[in-house]
Amino acid sequence: GENVEQHPSTLSVQEGDSAVIKCTYSDSASNYFPWYKQELGKRPQLIIDIRSNVGEKKDQRIAVTLNKTAKHFSLHITETQPEDSAVYFCAASSIRDSWGKLQFGAGTQVVVTP
Amino acid sequence: GAVVSQHPSRVICKSGTSVKIECRSLDFQATTMFWYRQFPKQSLMLMATSNEGSKATYEQGVEKDKFLINHASLTLSTLTVTSAHPEDSSFYICSAPGPTENTIYFGEGSWLTVV
């Protein structure tokens, strides 16, 4: 089955700097890659996603890149702000599985210091 | 918009008892729902796929007799933790694909504490 690895586990950045989180996946049939932000004890919040027919997607300060050949995708947050501090998860969904079934990465605790 | 509602949000039960968690799709039908477990400071781990009208599909290592899943209608899936033990204490969260292909909705999650 799908295996998703995420790095780093923690990331400290100065306010205004950029943050990058990287994930790799194992199943070449994976075609949907969402990124979630989660506060403790709450549901994951989708912040951006990308499908396998696209190499890059951007939404204001957030961007995601996908390299299908290397089976990795990355989250980029520019001009970080204190409110960006949270745990971020990448995930992958394979066409071999029911739509909506996600395998999550281990998560990255992002701390933005003023 | 489409919403997935989960109940209860918090539950405390005694060791050895069973507890049921409900996951409802409020304004759309969900033939498939997913159950995840999340221990503190860890990731969401997929437990099983709940299939309306048929048996759930469990992930490797998840005990199907301990975590009973029932998906008797197109809007409701339930997870029953049977003979609960303190190590079952966790955050349980469900999800369902929305009415359009691009959406996945998560429930609010349920904190289970077994004492």
The pLDDT tens digits of the residues spanning A13-65 come to 999 999 999 999 999 999 999 999 999 889 999 999 999 998 999 999 999 99
pLDDT at B1 over 80: no
Residue of A43, A46, A101 with shortest CB distance to B49: A101
Residue pLDDT, tens place only, B37-86: 999 999 999 999 999 989 999 999 999 999 999 998 999 999 999 999 99
For residues A77-108, b (16+ Cβ closer than 10 Å) or e, as one string?
A: beebeeebbbbbbbbbbbeebbebbbbbbebb
Per CB-CB distance under 8 Å, the chain A contacts of B104 are 34, 46, 100, 102
pLDDT mean across residues, chain A? 96
The answer, for B56 touching chain A at a CB cutoff of 8 Å, is no
Instruction: Give the A:B interface size as CB pairs under 8 Å.
Output: 51
The answer, for B104 touching chain A at a CB cutoff of 8 Å, is yes
Instruction: Please say whether the dihedral angle defined by the alpha carbons of residues B61, B46, B27 and B82, taken in this order, is positive or negative.
Output: positive
Residues 6+ apart with CB under 8 A from A69: none
CB contact under 8 A, A100 and B45: no
Dihedral, B6, B22, A46, A3 alpha carbons, nearest 10: 150
pLDDT at B101 over 80: no
- Chain A nearest CA to B16, separation (Å): 25
